[in-house]
Structure 1
Amino acid sequence: MDRRTAKDILLSSLPAYLEQNGININKKFNCMCPEHMDNTPSMQYDKRRNICHCFSCGANADIFQLIEWQYNTTSFEETLHIACDMFGIDLDDRKHKENKIKMKPAKKKWASKVSQKEPEKADEYIRNKVYQAMRDIAPLTEKDIRYLKEVRRLDDKRIKKDYFRIPSESNKKETFLRKLKKITGYNNDTLKTVPGFFVNKSTKKLDYHSEDGIAILIRNVNGSAYAVQIRHDTTEKGRRYSWFSSGFAVYDENLDGGCSPGAAKDIIIPQNPKKCICITEGRFKSEILSQYNNIVISIQGVSTWKGINEIISEIKERYDITVLFMMFDSDVMGNTQLMHTLKNMTISIKAAFPDMLIAVGAWKIEYGKGIDDCIINGYLKKVKFIDAMSFFSTCEKNIDVVMRENGFKSLKKLKKEAQKEFKQKLQSTNEKLLNSA
C-alpha cells in the first residue's frame, strides 16, 4: 500500500486505537500528554476534527502523536511503522517488517462529556491587560511574600511584577470581578474569552475557578502576560502547579465561554541580557538564572518543548545570541526518559541554528536537584558546561555500561526497586564524566 493511503487509513483509525487502549470515545478521559499529570479527566475525542484535545493543557493529538507519546518514538518513520503493525498495514516502500507490537492497556481511567464547541480565545493585548489588572487588585499575603523572598530569593521588583493571589472564596470573588471590569473596561462577552473565565448562563454572571495558591504571570517574548500559572498551597490533589484555565466550561451546557491557555512557555528577558539563552523548567529556576542577566525560556514540562525554535528565532532577531545552555535538573544523568527528551530538543535546535553553541549545565545531585537549589546552596562554581551532544552521547553509552556491570537485562522489564537502583547507579556513573569535562 502506498504511504498516502496508509496515512489516511491510520488517521481514520483513531477511534479504534483509543478503544484498543480501553478508552470510551464518548466520554472524557485523562490527558495522555506525558507532561500533563492529569488527575481530573480533561481530554476527549473530537469527532469533527478527528483528534484528541485536552482543555486543560491545550494539547492536540492525532493517532501518530498518541503513539509517539505511548511508545516514546524518536521519528515519524518509527511511529508510522508501529501504527502499521497495529493495524496490519504493509507499506510498499517498507524496507523491513518489525515484530508485531503488543498493545499496552491504558494506564489511566477515562470519563465523561463530549462537546464540539470551538472556544474563542482573547488576543494577546486583551489577555495582558486583564491579567495585569488581576495582579494589581489581588495582592499576596505576608506569608506569600516571605516565601518568595526567603525561600525563592526574589526581590521586591520581581515579586511586584509577576506575583499575586487570586481570591478563591465566593464572598470575595464578586468584589474582585467588579474591580476587574472597572479597571479593564471589559464586559462579560470579552472576559469570557480570556483563559480562566466563563459566564454562568443561569445567573448571567462572570465567574472563574481557582484553587488557593500563588498566581504567577507567564510572559511571552514581547513581555505580555498571556497566561497565569497557580502554585498551590498544598499538594493534596497530587499536583503543585496548574493553569488558571476555564477549558472545562466548553463542555458544560450551563456555562458560556471558557478556554485553556495551553502549555504556555515562559520568557524572562533582563534589562541588560548576555548573549545567551538558558532553557529550563519552571518559573523559579528562571528567576534565579535571570538574576545573572541570562535570557531564560522556561517550559512547563520537558516534553512541551515543541515550538521552542520559533521562540529562539524571535529572541535572536532582537539580540546577538551565540550560546544556548540547557539547565535542567541534575537527575537528567540518571533519568533515561528525561535524557532522551532533552537530546531530541537539542537535535532540533541544532538543526535550526547550526552556528549556535549548545551546552548542558551539569552538577552533582548532592549540590541540589535543580539549578535554583544548586545556586542557592552556594555551588554555582561547581556547575560545569559540557557540549550538549557529547554530554548525551556519553550518558547514553553509560546506560549499556551500567546494564552490563549490574546484570540488568532490560530496562522495560525492571521492577520498581530495580528501576530505582538503576537510576542511582547511572546517575553516579555519569557524574564521573564531570571530573573529566
Structure 2
Amino acid sequence: MYTSPPIVIDNGSDTTKAGFASEDLPSLVFNTNYSVGADGKVIVGDEEIDAHPENEVMTLMDNGLIYDFDNIIHNWRYVYDNLNNGYSIDPKDYPLTMTEQSWNTKQNKIKQTQIVFEELEVPIFSLVKKPLCQLYHMGRSNGLVVDIGSSTVSVTPVLDGIIQSKFTSYSKFGGDYIDANILNYMNSTVDLSTVVDQGTESYKNYQLSKKIIKEFKISMLNIAEDPINLSLPLEQQFQFTLKNFQLPNKQYVPIKQHQLEILEYLFQPNFSKLSPQPPSIEKPNSNGLSHFIISTLKNLESHLISEDPNNTNKTNEILRTYVSNLLITGNVSLLSGLTTRLTKDLSSLSYRILPSIRPFINPLNNFQVNDVNEIWDKKFNTWLGASNLSLMINDSKSVAMDNWFVTKEDYKEFGEDYIYEKFK
C-alpha cells in the first residue's frame, strides 16, 4: 500500500499535463518543447523559454512518441520541481504513472522505464495507453477512440478493454498540419519576419506558433457543417465577410475564403499545397479525417468477415459497438463545429460504405456541448483517465497492481523482457 498519491504525467507533442492523481485536474500544464543555451543548459517551462530568445527551441516528440531521450528527463524533473505549488518534491516518495501512444515501440518502453527507475528512482511505475485512459474516463471498455491532437490524428478500436493494435492507425493531418497551412497563408499576405524580431530562428518559430498561429486558428477559422467542393472557387459557394487579424506589430492579416478553406484541409488534405501524398484506399492515413475513420472501420469489417464468414451478425454487432461508442477527443477536437461536421460525415459515409450495420453515431460526452467542463474533459481526458487508473493501486480488490504497475525491485530482478511484457 502506498500512502502518497501517484503522480501522473501525460506528455503530448504540444503540452505536458501533470499532477497528483488525487486532484480533479492537472496542476501543471506547460509546453513540451525545451530550449538550450550556448552553454548547453536546458530550460523547460513556458515563462522560462520566453525569457531566453538567444536559445534554440527543441522538440522532444515525433509522431506522438518521445524520441529525445537524452533530454526528456528535464521535462520530468520540471514536474517534480514545480508540482507542489512551486515547491520541489522527491520522486522516490511517489508512485508514477505515464501515458503512451498505442504504437509506442519496445525500445521506447524499455528506455522510458530505465530512466524513471535509474534517474528519477521512483518506487513504482506504470505506463498506460492513451486510448484506454480516454475510454476509461468515459466509463466504457468498448469504443472507437478518435484522438485529434497536434502532431497526429489516431483512430483506435477498443473491444472489451483490449486495443485492437492491428487496426490502430495514425496520420499527420492534425493540428500541426493546420498550423503549417496557416503559416503558409500568413507568409503569402504579410511580412512575418517583423512580428518576432529577436531571437534564434527556432525561438521565433516557437513564438509564432504559440502566440499567433494558435490564436488565429481559434478566432478566425470555421469548420463547414457539410463537405466543401474545394475544386471550385469558394466565393461562388458562400458569402464571406472580410475579416482582419491584428498582429502584435499592428499589421493586419486579411482573411476571406480561407476562413473555411484552411480547416477543410483536415477533411480534404489533398487540396492543400502542403499535402505530402494523394489519398489512397490502401493507405487509410493518407485520407482526411472522416474517410480515415471509415477506412479503419472498413478494414475491420474485412478482417472480421475473413475470420468468420458465416457469422455476419457478429461482425455487424461489433462494428455497431464501435460507432455507437465513438469518442472524439484531443485539443483539435475543440475547434468549433468539428464534432458536428464529423458526426454528419460519418453518418452519411457509414450508410453508404457500411450499410449493413445501420449505425447510430452519437459521440460520447460526460457533459453537454459547450459546457466549460466539456472543454476540460477533451483537453485532459487522457490525464484524468490515467489518474483514475492510478488510484486503483491501493485498492486491494483491484488488478491494477498486478497488471499495470512495476516496482523498482521487479525491474532490477527481472529486466527488460519483463518490462516489455508488463507494458505490452
TM-score > 0.5 by shorter chain: no
TM-score (norm 2): 0.29
TM-score (norm 1): 0.28
